[in-house]
């Protein structure tokens, strides 16, 4: 099994809510894109391998307009290697960028950290997306940190559907699951401060419900270390719980393991 396949079975989120920054493993750009509460406007590409982008002559940078972002989401983003972008409201705003703005953007894409603020008021960006082997190591800055709450509410049923489809390749109809209530997603958002590990790899389905193990395994910046030693990290977790979806009521809850 390739690493690109392995990462689909777990999600790890190392949250730095005060810095509006989340480091994630197991969430690909395609899943991020489809889980956003509002569509992306345009994307300024800092590091990429997308062949159908447009070129902005003043900044010497590539960009993708809203109508083409779905093509980017369907591309083989994982194999770009580095994939870094910042969204922006209007193409005309790119003309407002001065040399120091361009220098800050190049620094952002090269070192995967902001020179000053990750947010550029001229571009009006809501996100900064900095990935290496997309889905393996993603660092994302949110102007509104509660957008992550909305993403969590959608990414979990989306991931469940994808994994079910992968496990049962002959199933014709794709299963769909309800999104999480925002109150519950907010609880998960809080848990990211302690390194939330969502273990779809050991998701269990019974006649009554579906249970997804949850753990808090601490801060990791090295995703190889986090993934390779995940069983040891789970054993030492302060939280032992399940995210539960009942079949009959289609209700979500979190149950601690006794």
- 104 and 163 both lie in a single domain: no
Q: Are residues 94 and 189 in the same domain?
A: no
| Residues 113 and 185 occupy one common structural domain | no
Per the structure, the complete domain to which residue 211 belongs is given by 148-256
pLDDT at 4: 52
Q: What are the CA-CA distances from residue 176 to residues 51, 91, 162, 205 (Å)?
A: 32, 36, 9, 15
Do 224 and 160 reside in the same domain of the chain? yes
User: Does residue 37 share a domain with residue 104?
Assistant: yes
Q: What is the DSSP string of 91-151?
A: GGGGGG--HHHHHHHHHHHHHSS-SS-S--TTTT-SEEEEEETTTTEEEEEESSTTHHHHH
Q: What is the pLDDT of residue 164?
A: 77
108 close to 29: Cβ distance less than 8 angstroms: no
Phi, psi values for residue 200, rounded to 5°:
-65, -20
Residue ranges in the chain modelled with pLDDT below 70: 1-7, 167-174
Burial tier of 6 (Cβ tally within 10 Å: 0-12, 13-18, 19+): middle
pLDDT of residue 167: 65
CA dist., res. 214 & res. 191, Å (int): 10
DSSP state of 236: T
Token code pair at residue 84: 């870094």
Q: Does residue 44 lie within any of the structural domains?
A: yes
CB atoms under 10 Å from CB of 239, counted, come to 18
> Are 166 and 233 in the same domain?
yes
Number of domains in the chain: 2
The pTM of this model reads 0.93
**Does some domain include residue 94?**
yes
Quote the DSSP letter at residue 221.
S
Q: What is the largest CA-CA distance in the chain?
A: 61
Q: Domain ends where: 134, 161, 196? A: 134
The reply to whether 252 and 153 lie within a common domain is yes
114 and 188 fall within a common domain? no
Q: Distance between CA 234 and CA 217 in Å, rounded?
A: 6
Q: Is residue 18 part of a domain?
A: no
* 232 and 165 within one domain: yes
pLDDT, tens digit, 9 for 90 and up, residues 17-68: 889 999 999 999 999 999 999 999 999 999 999 999 999 999 999 999 999 9
Question: 257 by DSSP, 3-state: which?
Answer: coil
125 and 47 inside one domain: yes
17 located within any domain? no
Of 109, 134, 159, the residue at which a domain comes to its end is: 134
**Does residue 154 sit in the same domain as residue 251?**
yes
- Please check whether residue 180 lies inside any domain of the structure: yes
Same domain, 40 and 127: yes
- Collapse the DSSP code of 229 into the 3-class scheme (helix H, G, I; strand E, B; otherwise coil) and give the result: coil
Last residue of a domain, one of 105, 134, 163: 134
Strand pairing report for 82-88 and 209-216: unpaired
Report yes or no on 211 lying in a domain.
Answer: yes
């Amino acid at each position: 099994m390739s690493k690109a396949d392995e990462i689909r079975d777990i999600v790890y989120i190392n949250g730095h809510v005060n810095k509006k920054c989340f480091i994630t493993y197991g969430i690909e750009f395609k899943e991020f894109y489809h889980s956003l509460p509002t569509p992306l406007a345009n994307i300024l590409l800092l590091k990429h391998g997308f062949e159908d982008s447009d070129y902005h002559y003043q900044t010497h940078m590539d960009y993708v307009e809203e109508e083409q972002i779905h093509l980017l989401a369907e591309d083989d983003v994982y194999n770009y290697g580095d994939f870094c972008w910042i969204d922006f409201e209007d193409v005309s705003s790119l003309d407002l960028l001065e040399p120091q703005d361009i220098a800050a953007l190049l620094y952002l894409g090269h070192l995967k950290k902001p020179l000053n603020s990750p947010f550029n008021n001229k571009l009006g960006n809501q996100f900064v997306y900095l990935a290496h082997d997309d889905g393996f190591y993603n660092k994302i800055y949110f102007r509104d940190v509660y957008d992550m709450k909305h993403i969590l509410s959608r990414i979990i049923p989306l991931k469940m559907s994808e994994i079910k489809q992968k496990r049962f390749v002959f199933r014709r109809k794709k299963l769909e699951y309800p999104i999480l209530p925002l109150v519950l997603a907010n609880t998960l958002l809080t848990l990211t401060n302690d390194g939330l590990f969502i273990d779809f790899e050991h998701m269990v389905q019974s006649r009554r419900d579906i249970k997804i193990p949850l753990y808090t395994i601490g801060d990791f910046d090295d995703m190889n270390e986090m993934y390779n030693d995940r069983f040891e990290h789970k054993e030492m977790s302060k939280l032992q719980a399940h995210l539960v979806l009942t079949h009959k009521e289609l209700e979500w809850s979190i149950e601690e393991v006794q």
